[in-house]
Amino acid sequence: MLTIDQIEDFDRDGFVLIEGMFSIDEVAILRRAANLAARVREHTVVAHDADGNESPLAIWRDIGEDVFGMVSASPRVVNSMRAMLREDVYHWHSKVMLKYPEGGGAWEWHQDYGYWYRDGCPYPRLASAMIVIDEAMKVNGCLKVMVGSHLLGRLDHANVGNQHGVEPERAKALESRLPIQFVEAKPGSALFFHCNLIHASEPNLSEFSRLAYICCYNAFSNIPIIGQGHGPPIPIQLTSDDAILQFA
């Protein structure tokens, strides 16, 4: 469970990094699934960054019975989300970010709410938990964030590659105004971030893979008012804390 200080960090900065939320053994199971599971192969789509590099990800809306589902419904993640959003949440989607060595593409500066507003959510009351699978370093394109940018509110987004990005001129100006933090983190760390936090990542030009699993949640007060949204707003059945290890 998060401490009051960690929740205050999230409120002030728009993100908080919790080291060691998952053990090395749990991450090893998750890594094997990220590399081998049919679910990942069958759900992979490819986004393109502004330079045309491929940024593949595997994305789904259901909480399955596999190791990914055990993480998305884990009390560690879901109860932290409830604490940060101050209410109960439901699963929005989960995705494996497949940033492979030597060429994994960039993600342009964006707010997730830039996408999810278009999905009909009335409020910016969603957040994500990025579970670090491979050590995230500057050299393999770790996430970078504009500290405190969630307080700007939702910004207009334009098409950049086939991604939605903060309008390039505004993103550039904000880069010189707000502190930029590269979120380097060890496997098993969890980065919780607000849907209006401006974030991006650079291409992976290194020999090191940078896989991460991101679970996203929406508050029950924020069910889409237009369209179908992502996952249906059903209460999450929490898994037990040792559920992941059962997939060893």
Instruction: Tell me if 128 sits within 8 A of 214, measured CB to CB.
Output: yes
Task: Tell me the CA distances in angstroms from 196 to 63, 73, 104, 220, one per residue in order.
Answer: 24, 23, 24, 18
Q: Interaction with Mn ion in 62-121: which residues (CB under 5 A)?
A: 112
Q: Which is nearer to ligand SIN, 65 or 102 (CB)?
A: 102
The nearest distance, CB 244 to ligand SIN, in angstroms, is 21
CA distance 166 to 196: 11
Does 49 help bind Mn ion (rule: CB under 5 A)?
A: no
Instruction: Residue 152: count other Cβ atoms within 10 Å of its Cβ.
Output: 17
Question: CB of residue 59 vs ligand SIN: minimum separation in angstroms?
Answer: 11
177's CB contacts (< 8 A; 6+ apart) are none
58 binds, options Mn ion, ligand SIN, none, Cβ within 5 to 8 A by partner type = none
Least Cβ distance, residue 243 to ligand SIN (angstroms): 24
Query: Residue 74 Cβ, how far from Mn ion at the closest point, in Å?
Result: 21
CA distance 52 to 172: 20
Minimum CB distance to ligand SIN smaller for 201 or for 222: 201
Q: Which two tokens stand for residue 155?
A: 């910004």
CB-nearer residue toward ligand SIN: 107 or 192: 107
Min separation Cβ 246 and ligand SIN, Å: 27
Where does 132-227 have alpha helices with state H?
A: 168-177
Taking the least distance from each CB to ligand SIN, the nearer of 160 and 212 is: 212
Partner whose footprint covers residue 214, from Mn ion, ligand SIN, none (CB < 5 to 8 Å by kind): ligand SIN
Could you say which of Mn ion, ligand SIN, none residue 212 binds, taking C-beta under 5 to 8 angstroms by partner kind? ligand SIN
| Residues 163 and 149 sit within 8 Å (Cβ to Cβ) | no
Task: Give the residues lining the site for ligand SIN (CB under 6 A).
Answer: 97, 107, 143, 199, 201, 212, 214
Length of the chain: 248
Closer to ligand SIN by Cβ: residue 16 or 214: 214
Q: Is residue 20 within 8 Å of residue 189, measured between CB atoms?
A: yes
Single-letter amino acid code for the residue at 107: W
Q: CB under 5 to 8 A by kind: which of ligand SIN, Mn ion, none does 2 bind?
A: none
CB of 4 to ligand SIN, least distance (A): 26
Q: Which is nearer to ligand SIN, 30 or 239 (CB)?
A: 30
Note the helical H segments in 14-155. 24-36, 38-42, 67-72, 75-85, 112-116
Which residues would be at the binding site for Mn ion (CB under 5 A)?
A: 112
